[in-house]
């Protein structure tokens, strides 16, 4: 049946709100499997976050994803107030959920001269529920969106490999070494340069 295929079909996108995005860019080559990154990055490899969803379940999902990335040592997410945090982690309301269509997660970012200064990441509970995602699947989607928040796989350049949390339709795979290497490479590479 096509039903199972439909259940496995998930799409994640990153939307650019490019008000201050500079046009200067460049590209460098990474080792074949390293997760690609776009030109945008935070100034350093740490940023502040706040979890703003009211759902206790999704608060736990976001916290698990934060812990998983912090454990890698490649980047540090630090808890801050909702008012001051650079990164806001939330869930789509039912009406926002309609707008997300087939996207189980979405990350919007704002950058100035390729330096990120604001990120909104949201999960789509309605779709995650309809697709029958498990708790660990949900966590992988949150880890994927945090990957975007750090600058991984911006725009359409997801990791073509399925063994990456940044695979476009990832559901069952957590953070891999290629993803950790991608974050390390992102923060060893100047803003304005992308790598594929």
Residues that bind Zn ion (CB under 5 A): 12
Shortest separation between residue 128's beta carbon and Zn ion, angstroms: 15
Phi, psi (degrees; rounded to nearest 5) at 162: -75, -15
Smaller CB separation from Zn ion, 47 or 154? 154
Shortest separation between residue 84's beta carbon and Zn ion, angstroms: 26
Structure tokens at 143: 């880890």
Q: Which among 193, 196, 145, 180 has a CA at the least distance from the CA of 41?
A: 193
In the bound complex, which residue of the shown chain has the CB atom lying closest to Zn ion?
12
Cβ atoms within 10 Å of 184's Cβ, excluding its own: 16
Shortest separation between residue 74's beta carbon and Zn ion, angstroms: 18
Smaller CB separation from Zn ion, 79 or 172? 172
Smaller CB separation from Zn ion, 155 or 192? 155
Q: Which among 164, 116, 158, 156 has a CA at the least distance from the CA of 140?
A: 164
């Amino acid at each position: 049946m096509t039903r199972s295929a439909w259940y496995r079909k998930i799409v994640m996108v990153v939307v650019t709100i490019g008000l201050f995005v500079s046009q200067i860019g460049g590209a460098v080559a990474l080792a074949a499997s390293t997760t690609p990154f776009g030109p945008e990055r935070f100034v350093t490899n740490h940023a502040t976050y706040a979890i703003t969803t009211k759902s206790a379940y999704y608060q736990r999902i976001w916290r698990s994803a934060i812990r998983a990335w912090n454990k890698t040592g490649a980047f540090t997410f630090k808890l801050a107030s909702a008012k001051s945090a650079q990164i806001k982690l939330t869930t789509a309301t039912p009406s926002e959920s309609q707008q997300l269509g087939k996207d189980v997660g979405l990350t919007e970012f704002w950058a100035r001269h390729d330096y990120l200064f604001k990120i909104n990441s949201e999960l789509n509970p309605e779709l995650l529920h309809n697709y029958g995602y498990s708790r660990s699947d949900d966590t992988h989607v949150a880890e994927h969106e945090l990957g975007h928040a750090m600058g991984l796989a911006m725009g359409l350049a997801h990791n073509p490999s399925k063994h990456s949390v940044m695979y476009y339709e990832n559901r069952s795979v957590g953070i891999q070494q290629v993803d950790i290497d991608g974050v390390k490479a992102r923060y060893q590479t100047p803003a304005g340069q992308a790598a594929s």
